[in-house]
A and B are shown apart, each in its own frame.
Chain A
Amino acid sequence: EAQVTQNPRYLITVTGKKLTVTCSQNMNHEYMSWYRQDPGLGLRQIYYSMNVEVTDKGDVPEGYKVSRKEKRNFPLILESPSPNQTSLYFCASSSSSYNEQFFGPGTRLTVL
């Protein structure tokens, strides 16, 4: 089954404790991206990757890091999480940056 998986689905952590949210896709897509979704603000892109070892900032990259060492995986790293990073995070993959996006199930992150 074609899918995007994210782990964990839920995470409660404390300020400053480094965390990684994993994302994996099995559709051989070159393009992958991370979004955060907040009430009233919609989906905002954090980082995206056009291919292996090619990553770039989206609209709200501050406080986040990503890596793309393999085509299927695109982890999101929060080196020192802060409460304003409490949000619902989605990973997505696609054949291109402007075509249909396939989203993961989301990770609800709470930073205390």
Chain B
Amino acid sequence: TQLLEQSPQFLSIQEGENLTVYCNSSSVFSSLQWYRQEPGEGPVLLVTVVTGGEVKKLKRLTFQFGDARKDSSLHITAAQPGDTGLYLCAGGSSNTGKLIFGQGTTLQVKP
């Protein structure tokens, strides 16, 4: 059974601080997707990484796929209150046809 461990589960920081969210598995994935979910809405895709070692940037957000395609990280620089939300990682496998979600990281950025 494929599992995706996401950490930390909760994070409360002050505006301007940096943070990193981790997503780890013992399984190899074809791709790793990061979603953000705001209260009262469904998750929305932020980015997909598909190549081992790949780094993608989205303004102050940096996403990295591990060399072995088993893990990923999301780094936010100078967090803003607007970054508050639930961040979900999801590993996709073209072999199994499955998309496995991590448990999510709830981020609160205080002004």
The residues of A with any CB-CB pair to B shorter than 8 Å are: 4, 40-43, 90, 92, 96-101, 103-106
B33 at the interface (CB under 8 A from A): yes
Q: List 12 A-B contacts (CB under 8 A).
A: A4-B42, A42-B101, A43-B88, A97-B98, A97-B99, A98-B30, A98-B92, A98-B98, A99-B92, A104-B42, A105-B42, A106-B41
Task: Give A51 Cβ to nearest chain B Cβ, in Å.
Answer: 13
B62 at the interface (CB under 8 A from A): no
Task: Give A106 Cβ to nearest chain B Cβ, in Å.
Answer: 5
Chain B residue at smallest Cβ distance from A35: B101
B111 at the interface (CB under 8 A from A): no
Q: Chain A residues near B88: list those with CB within 8 A.
A: 42-43
Distance A90 CA – B43 CA, assembled complex (angstroms) = 9
Distance A61 CA – B90 CA, assembled complex (angstroms) = 20
The one of A90, A98, A100, A105 that contacts B97, using a Cβ cutoff of 8 Å: A98
B103 at the interface (CB under 8 A from A): yes
Interface residues of B in 40-55 (CB under 8 A from A): 40-45, 48
The one of B41, B42, B48, B101 that contacts A100, using a Cβ cutoff of 8 Å: B48
Task: Give A49 Cβ to nearest chain B Cβ, in Å.
Answer: 13
B104 at the interface (CB under 8 A from A): yes
- A43 and B101 contacting across the interface, CB-CB below 8 Å: yes
- B99 and A41 contacting across the interface, CB-CB below 8 Å: no
